[in-house]
Amino acid sequence: MAELSTLARPYARAAFKFAMDADNLAGWERMLATLAGVGQHQKIRDAIDAPGLSAQKQAGIIIEVCADDLDQPVQNFVEVLADNKRLPLLPELYQMFRALKTQQEQEVDVELTTAFALDDSAEEQISQALTKKLSRKINIHSSVDQSLLAGAIIKAGDLVIDGSVRGRLEKLSRAINS
């Protein structure tokens, strides 16, 4: 995984810089998300990996599938990726671009996993508390995991807050067995 990150990083940074200069971060993020989704599709990957297929034809396949969703600079970017045999990096490249964008915009993506679905007001309270704590705009992505029993787990970058009953029971068990 580290190798993919190492290979994708310069392309993600170049795309980010170009998008910043063009004042089109949201547009590039949307287009790269489309490319990442297409790049993960098995039929597309098989077509691109076909032996003897030129870089121009590889880029052409991706561009043809996404043509309505890509502007000319992004199409050119796809061609550069194809020329350098980096099309398989599209999903990783998108993730890195997104991380650069959220860092630039002083935002943080938060994974909120709860034992039961929360209503909008509860999510808003959590969002406000995290906004104060992290001094950033919060983008909450919620999911439900009934194995938590009760409570929630909040992941924001390297910060993990485990307020689940399951987590507390595991911590208690480790303390007793130590």
Each residue's pLDDT tens digit, 18-67:
888 888 888 888 888 888 888 888 887 877 777 787 878 887 888 888 77
Sign of CA dihedral 99, 102, 108, 111: negative
Average pLDDT score over residue span 72-96:
86
The Cα 85–Cα 139 span in angstroms is: 33
The CATH number of 2-102 is 1.10.520.20
With contact defined as beta carbons under 8 Å apart, do 129 and 78 qualify?
Answer: no
Structure tokens at 42: 């098995």
pLDDT at 52: 80
| Token pair of 129 as six digits | 């508390």
Using one digit for the tens of pLDDT, what is the confidence trace for 124-143? 888 888 888 877 778 888 88
Mean pLDDT of 95-103: 85
d(CA 6, CA 44): 23
pLDDT-derived band at 82 (thresholds 50, 70, 90) equals confident
**How far apart, in whole angstroms, are the C-alpha atoms of residue 74 and residue 49?**
21
Which amino acid does the sequence have at 127?
Answer: S
Determine the average pLDDT of the residues in 171-177: 85
Q: Please give the C-alpha separations between residue 35 and each of 60, 70, 94, 134, in angstroms, as whole numbers.
A: 13, 9, 8, 31
Q: How far apart are the first and last CA of the chain?
A: 34
Exposed e or buried b per residue across 7-21, where buried means at least 16 C-beta atoms within 10 angstroms of its C-beta: bbeebbeebbeebee
